[in-house]
Amino acid sequence: MKIGKNFFLNKKILIYGLGKSGISTFRFLKNKADVYLFDDNKKTNKKIINHSQLLKTEFDRIIISPGINILNCKLSKFLKKNFSKIYTDLDVFFSFFKNKSVAITGTNGKSTTAKILYDVLLDQKKDVRLIGNIGNPALSEKKISKKTFFVIEISSYQLDYSKLFSTKYAIILNISADHIERHKNLTNYVSAKFKLLESQNRQSFAYVKKYDDLINKRIKKSKFKQKIYKVDTLNVRKVLNQLNNKYFNSSGNRENLSFILKISSKLKLNNNKLINTLRNFKGLKYRQQIIFDRKNLTIINDSKSTSFASSENILKNLKDVYWIIGGIPKVRDKFKLSKKECKNFKAFIFGKHHKQFSNILGNKVKFKKFENLKLTLQNVFFEIKKKKAKKNLIFFSPAGASFDNFKNFEDRGKYFNQLIKKFIDAK
């Protein structure tokens, strides 16, 4: 079926969830369709239909925000009954705009890779927009021309309910167990990620990590229409020597770099400009961000890390590491580094879920437990002073969700920076 912009035009549409994506979808469609709004927590807005009215209304399309789990929400029964009518803001976006795009998904590194590619294209004077999980919601962009190129960070939540969205270039960086509380099992999570490839046509291109068991297993099981490139994420040493950028020292960021190099080659970008952009890339806030680097101490703020897999990528490449972890552990998350790989660091666990973290770490890692982040840092700085090593690294990579004491990972990252400033100023 050929999908055009008339798929949503003049239809009776329910928008469920009034976060950023829901509001932008409403603003985009309000003069194009008969739009109704509903949100579990917002009842005072005059434009919002009440629950009893909603159940009596027959909708042509239902556009659901990514954060809503249809198995566990106020409209659960209604959504299950009308599942065939459920779409996302990305579906609306695709029906109106057929611009070339790169959509990036994976368990770790999505935001960073998307931002690097955006910077690369921007420095090459392209009309490029950064949308999706990072940047603006897809439907909030203005002044879109035929030459506008989109870089889209896309999550498993967005992919899960999308039915129409497709992209010229697709990237799956890696897959490890994540968001199991939402997807119920690993198979469902992998399936959600692979909807990105399944939606592509013969004129499309896909890039996946070469040495990833879950990715390779799924590719063997399915037949895909597009050309699939397996990216060797271990083969970037030559470029690294050119960059002289500390940010790409970790294995995770080297992986991100390898995908950037492959897609840049496909897009036929200027190599000298590409190298210059990569040389100057400083990273995103709270994502393996170097916030202090003087004398004998380096401090990295990786508050975005909400799983062990994201922390492991950097831990195995560093020495004399004080690893600070805490928050809420992910369901069925595992610590996969061997005891031998853990010799170069010590873990400092903060917060009320310390027992769960220590159980996951087992006897592989030496660790200490503390009530909160402030006490943890006090102990870390005391040990550094006592040890008198030539080089020390404080690695704040919590490997757990932030909602125990913080609004989000940004709030957690900001608080960590504030504490660090106090400790550094006091030295």
pLDDT digit string (tens) for 112-158?
A: 999 999 999 999 999 999 999 887 899 999 999 999 999 999 999 99
Q: Residue 2 burial (CB < 10 Å; 0-12/13-18/19+)?
A: exposed
State pLDDT tens for residues 56-103: 999 999 999 988 888 888 899 999 999 999 999 999 999 999 999 999
Is pLDDT at 278 greater than 60 in this prediction?
yes
What's the whole-model pTM score? Answer: 0.85
CA distance 37 to 21: 13
Q: How far apart are the first and last CA of the chain?
A: 66
Return the amino acid letter for 147. K
Tell me the sheet residues that pair with 172.
Answer: 105, 208
pLDDT score at 264: 97
Pairing between β-strand 321-326 and β-strand 392-396 as defined by DSSP bridges: parallel
CA distance 397 to 274: 29
DSSP designation for 210: S
**Which whole number is the average pLDDT over 324-349?**
90
CA distance 427 to 410: 26
Q: Which of 24, 12, 254 is nearest to 131 (CA)?
A: 24
pLDDT confidence tier of residue 344, bands split at 50, 70 and 90: confident
pLDDT score at 165: 94
Spatial CB neighbours of 396, under 8 Å, sequence gap ≥ 6: 299, 300, 301, 302, 303, 324, 413, 416
Is pLDDT at 418 greater than 70 in this prediction?
yes
pLDDT score at 266: 97
Dihedral sign computed on CA atoms, order 75, 77, 82, 88 = positive
C-alpha radius of gyration, the chain, whole number: 23
State pLDDT tens for residues 286-302: 988 889 988 889 999 99
Q: How many CB atoms lie within 10 A of CB 255?
A: 26
Is pLDDT at 193 greater than 60 in this prediction?
yes
Tell me the sheet residues that pair with 15.
Answer: 37, 63
Query: What are residue 342's phi and psi, to 5 degrees?
Result: -95, 5
Q: Which of 316, 208, 348 is nearest to 252 (CA)?
A: 316
The fraction of the chain above a pLDDT of 70, given in percent, is 97
State pLDDT tens for residues 374-397: 999 999 999 998 888 888 999 999
Long-range residue pairs from 402-408, CB within 8 A, at least 24 positions apart, any chain: 402/303, 402/306, 402/327, 402/328, 403/327, 403/328, 404/326, 404/327, 404/328, 404/351, 404/352, 404/353, 405/351, 405/372
pLDDT confidence tier of residue 427, bands split at 50, 70 and 90: low
Is pLDDT at 1 greater than 70 in this prediction?
no
Is pLDDT at 314 greater than 90 in this prediction?
no
The continuous run of DSSP H or E covering 207 comes out as: strand 205-209
> What average pLDDT is seen over the chain?
91
pLDDT score at 3: 67
Q: Which domains does the chain have, with CATH numbers?
A: 5-87 (3.40.50.720), 97-279 (3.40.1190.10), 289-426 (3.90.190.20)
The fraction of the chain above a pLDDT of 90, given in percent, is 68
CA distance 207 to 262: 8
Q: Starting at the earlier edge strand, list the strands of the sheet with 289-294.
A: 289-294, 297-301, 392-396, 321-326, 345-350, 367-370
DSSP letter string, 281-328: ----TTSSEEEEEETTEEEEE-TT--SHHHHHHHHTT-SSEEEEEESB
Q: Which of 78, 61, 23, 66 is nearest to 45 (CA)?
A: 23
Window from 206-215, 255-264, 333-342 with minimum mean pLDDT: 333-342
DSSP letter string, 336-360: ---TGGGTTEEEEEESTTHHHHHHH
Which of 34-48, 81-95, 236-250, 317-331 holds the top average pLDDT? 81-95
Region class of 384: left (phi > 0), else alpha (psi between -120 and 50), else beta: alpha
- ∠ CA 385-247-399, rounded to 5°: 65
CA distance 86 to 161: 7
Please, where are the H alpha helices in 172-290?
Answer: 180-183, 186-198, 213-221, 237-243, 251-266, 271-279
Q: Give 215-233 as a 3 state SS string.
A: HHHHHHHCCCCCEEEEECC
The continuous run of DSSP H or E covering 368 comes out as: strand 367-370
84: which 2 tokens? 């065939």
Number of residues that this document lists for the chain: 427
Window from 30-34, 35-39, 176-180, 277-281 with minimum mean pLDDT: 176-180
Contact call for residues 206 and 218 (beta carbons, < 8 A): no
pLDDT score at 44: 47
Return the amino acid letter for 16. Y
State pLDDT tens for residues 6-62: 899 999 999 999 888 999 999 999 999 999 999 887 654 556 888 888 999 999 999
Pairing between β-strand 289-294 and β-strand 297-301 as defined by DSSP bridges: antiparallel
